[in-house]
Amino acid sequence: MSHLTDEARAPYRRATADLDGPNSLEAIVASNPSRRSLLVNGLFGLSVLPVIAACDSDGDPTVTLPTPTPTPTPTPTPTPTSYAVNFTSVNANRNDIVTVPAGYTAEVLLKAGDSIEAGTPYSGSYPTSAVAEKWAGGNHDGMEYFELSGTDPNNGGLLAINFEYPDFNILMASVPDIATASAEQKALALSAVGIGVIEVAKGSDGKWAVKSGSRFNKRYTGNSSYRAGGPAAGLLSGSIKGMLNNCASGRTPWGTYLTCEETTDNYFDPSQPASNYGWVVEIDPQLELAPPTKRTAMGRFDHENVAFMANGDNRVAFYMGDDSTPGCIYKFVPDRAFSKTNRAANTDLLDYGTLYVARFNGDGTGEWRALVVGQNGLTTTAQDPGNVSQSTTPPTPATVAFNNQADVLINCKAAARVAGGTVMDRPEWITVAPDNKAVFVTLTNNSGRRVTDAANPRVTNRHGHILKFREEGDSPLATKFSWEIFVLAGDPAWASGGANLTGDIKGDTFSSPDGIRIDPQGRLWVQTDHSVPGTSGASGVSIEDTVGHNAMFYLDQATKQSKRFLVGPEGCEITGLAYTPDLKTFFVNIQHPTGNWPVSGQEPRSSTIVVRRTDSQPVGN
């Protein structure tokens, strides 16, 4: 969550050996059928070839031996690609640049105000809302990379990018007071949120660029129209104006984009019904399936991202965090398996299923409690205990009437607490290991916590922690799990402010873990979002004084050793991570910089960058 978002919405807030290749036996025979008879007698062995008899000039028989086939030179065994993490950590710093390890480059791909759809990009003057509607929005956040039919995915594809909040400095003279803002000012603000889809390609020089004019280049903004699906759709507007606070994101196994609204109202246009917002929105970047749809079966809350776990039977679960102080952790399990061969068969898969909330027990066990009307206390006279972690004096429970499933989904935060879900310290990104043996959740911070529990062990949790859990049987359908705290963030330099500030990180320390992702090789990457400047808790010491700007780290899952991979420029948050299948190209987002980046002498702008090695090896080596 951008701190700008948090400030803006505050007045409106509620309390994933080639056997048939060209050298295979089948391929050889197919290209030369006459060799099949040869193979019947023996596999290229001279000892089984017939001897051909004839006579010489004296009539003596001669023996003609076949010309021996030269022994082929053995094909060298290709050197396996190494995905070992060998980069040298970069130092914590407060430089107004993107710092990456030696041997790497970081190049800007897409800035706020650049054109996505055909139009005039930002060039120093303020736009009209009609112009800005075609631009890349602001505060770039979560994103996903999608393969494109007929294109080598390591050289080109589609990138879907969230825009959480406007970069107002390129839109208008100042941030407007929404209570008195004009219709054009509101339209301008709403033009800069939502998502953008761009086709990107790598040039012969190795540099990536947006393919201008691609039919896939498209903006979905806070002014666009959306439909709703699922059990609560009937209680939402037939045509919903906009989505906003598009924080982090995810994808489905069938290749659609899941963008997450991190607000349960429209604080840029309060005249819109609040129930229209706070949903996961499914969008097909390939423009084949349903129009953009808010999937109400997945619950309404301050969504951060979505991560899925699938099994061999094509059953899938989607994990989500509520980025609130505090908020719960959820998973949604569709009623049926998805199709790998027919994308269209999955069009409404996210409209039917069961939503669960996580309960973390003190003994390291956990359970998923169904958020289904009539179960787990979700009745017409339910008592919501409220945010019990934020005060030593328990709040007065509030009566909430859950008359039907739509009520449960719209009032999902209250339903989760009623059902006994554990309120966590701002659960943000969630990521699932490729082998399904682990799920990681970043709990960014909660300086207001006053009552602890086993999964949230620190009062005044300024620096956050990362939690790890494992589903029973490594199954997305499990209703039980085991869990542990993977790492507590903080730094020994802050010990004077209390032991709960030091953390237990090995290696490069950090505060406020936010973005998290396990890549296909099982390597864990973490991005940070500490306040700028941030209060460390130690007198007279800011967070930046010790750990520098927000950064991106590699964490070894076995040793828990942390290595700083990238440091952002002044004032920014590091967020969003996507990559090509060969892991030689990483896409990373730089959100709300405040200095002289990315273009010296121009307004600072949120941007998507491309990180790669100069020797074309996988990132991390």
**Residue 38's pLDDT is what?**
29
- Tokens encoding 528: 């940070």
**Residue 18's pLDDT is what?**
33
pLDDT of 23 over the 60 cut: no
Q: CA 24, CA 374: separation in Å to the nearest integer?
A: 59
**Residue 80's pLDDT is what?**
83
Per-residue CA distances from 18 to 25, 26, 295, 469 (Å): 11, 12, 40, 35
Q: What is the mean pLDDT of residues 252-265?
A: 98
- Tokens encoding 57: 């000039």
Per-residue CA distances from 565 to 92, 169, 244, 393 (Å): 10, 29, 30, 43
Q: What is the mean pLDDT of residues 395-419?
A: 98
Outline where 370-487 has alpha helix (H): 405-410, 412-418
- Tokens encoding 478: 């499990």
Q: Is 447 exposed, middle or buried (0-12, 13-18, 19+ CB in 10 A)?
A: middle
Q: Give me the sign of the Cα torsion angle 120, 569, 611, 442.
A: negative
Q: How confident is the model at residue 45 (pLDDT cuts 50, 70, 90)?
A: very low
Residue 595 CB-half CA count within 13 A: 18
471-484 confidence digits (pLDDT tens)? 999 999 999 999 99
33-42 confidence digits (pLDDT tens)? 333 332 333 3
Q: How far is CA 559 from the centre of its chain?
A: 24
**Residue 7's pLDDT is what?**
74
Cβ atoms 382, 418 nearer than 8 A:
yes
What DSSP designation does 196 have? E
Concatenate the DSSP letters of all residues of 105-162 into one string.
EEEEEEETT-BSSSSPPPSSSPPPHHHHTTB--SSEEEEEEE--TTS-TTTEEEEEEE
What DSSP designation does 78 have? P
pLDDT of 9 over the 90 cut: no
Q: What is the mean pLDDT of residues 361-373?
A: 98
- Tokens encoding 298: 């997945």
Of 174, 104, 179, 265, which is closest to residue 621 (Cα–Cα)? Answer: 104
**Residue 164's pLDDT is what?**
98
Q: What is the mean pLDDT of residues 288-299?
A: 98
Largest Cα–Cα distance of the chain, in whole Å? 119
- Tokens encoding 374: 């009539």
Q: CA 371, CA 374: separation in Å to the nearest integer?
A: 9
Per-residue CA distances from 593 to 168, 432, 542, 589 (Å): 12, 30, 18, 11
Cβ atoms 442, 487 nearer than 8 A:
no
Q: CA 485, CA 151: separation in Å to the nearest integer?
A: 42
Dihedral, CA of residue 439, residue 445, residue 449 and residue 452, to nearest 10: 30
Q: CA 539, CA 443: separation in Å to the nearest integer?
A: 24
Q: CA 181, CA 277: separation in Å to the nearest integer?
A: 21
317-362 confidence digits (pLDDT tens)? 999 999 998 999 999 999 999 999 999 999 999 999 999 999 999 9
Q: CA 588, CA 609: separation in Å to the nearest integer?
A: 5
pLDDT of 202 over the 70 cut: yes
Considering the entire predicted model, what is its pTM?
0.89
90-127 confidence digits (pLDDT tens)? 999 999 999 999 999 999 999 999 999 999 999 999 99
Q: How confident is the model at residue 11 (pLDDT cuts 50, 70, 90)?
A: low
- Of all residues in the chain, what percent carry a pLDDT higher than 90? 87
Q: How far is CA 328 from the centre of its chain?
A: 18
- Tokens encoding 611: 């990180």
**Residue 8's pLDDT is what?**
76
Of 470, 568, 570, 472, which is closest to residue 515 (Cα–Cα)? Answer: 568
**Residue 74's pLDDT is what?**
66
Cβ atoms 595, 573 nearer than 8 A:
no
pLDDT of 26 over the 90 cut: no
The pair phi, psi for residue 316, each rounded to 5°, is -145, 150
pLDDT of 283 over the 90 cut: yes
Outline where 172-327 has alpha helix (H): 183-191
Lowest-confidence range among 11-20, 367-376, 546-555, 565-574?
11-20
pLDDT of 245 over the 60 cut: yes
On the question of a cis peptide bond just before residue 598, with omega within 30 degrees of 0, the verdict is yes
What DSSP designation does 39 have? H
Q: CA 126, CA 128: separation in Å to the nearest integer?
A: 7
**Residue 79's pLDDT is what?**
74
**Residue 75's pLDDT is what?**
65
Residues composing the chain: 621
Q: What is the mean pLDDT of residues 600-611?
A: 97
Of 562, 573, 448, 550, which is closest to residue 507 (Cα–Cα)? Answer: 562
Residue 182, classed as helix, strand or coil, is coil
492-537 confidence digits (pLDDT tens)? 999 999 999 999 999 999 999 999 999 999 999 999 999 999 999 9
562-581 confidence digits (pLDDT tens)? 999 999 999 999 999 999 99
Q: CA 587, CA 609: separation in Å to the nearest integer?
A: 6
What mean pLDDT value characterizes the chain?
A: 91
Cβ atoms 180, 143 nearer than 8 A:
no
pLDDT of 228 over the 90 cut: yes
- Between the two ends of the chain, the Cα-to-Cα distance in Å is 30
**Residue 4's pLDDT is what?**
77
Q: What is the mean pLDDT of residues 158-187?
A: 97
Q: CA 41, CA 366: separation in Å to the nearest integer?
A: 63
Q: What is the mean pLDDT of residues 149-173?
A: 98
Of 92, 114, 89, 113, which is closest to residue 102 (Cα–Cα)? Answer: 89
Q: CA 196, CA 211: separation in Å to the nearest integer?
A: 13
* Angle made by CA atoms 87, 92, 93, in degrees to the nearest 5: 125
**Residue 70's pLDDT is what?**
58
Q: How confident is the model at residue 76 (pLDDT cuts 50, 70, 90)?
A: low
Cβ atoms 144, 251 nearer than 8 A:
yes
Q: How confident is the model at residue 1 (pLDDT cuts 50, 70, 90)?
A: low
Q: How confident is the model at residue 304 (pLDDT cuts 50, 70, 90)?
A: very high
Outline where 464-594 has alpha helix (H): 543-547
Per-residue CA distances from 95 to 99, 135, 169, 280 (Å): 8, 28, 22, 36
pLDDT of 3 over the 80 cut: no
pLDDT of 235 over the 80 cut: yes
Q: What is the mean pLDDT of residues 448-468?
A: 98
Q: Is 266 exposed, middle or buried (0-12, 13-18, 19+ CB in 10 A)?
A: buried
The pair phi, psi for residue 265, each rounded to 5°, is -160, 175
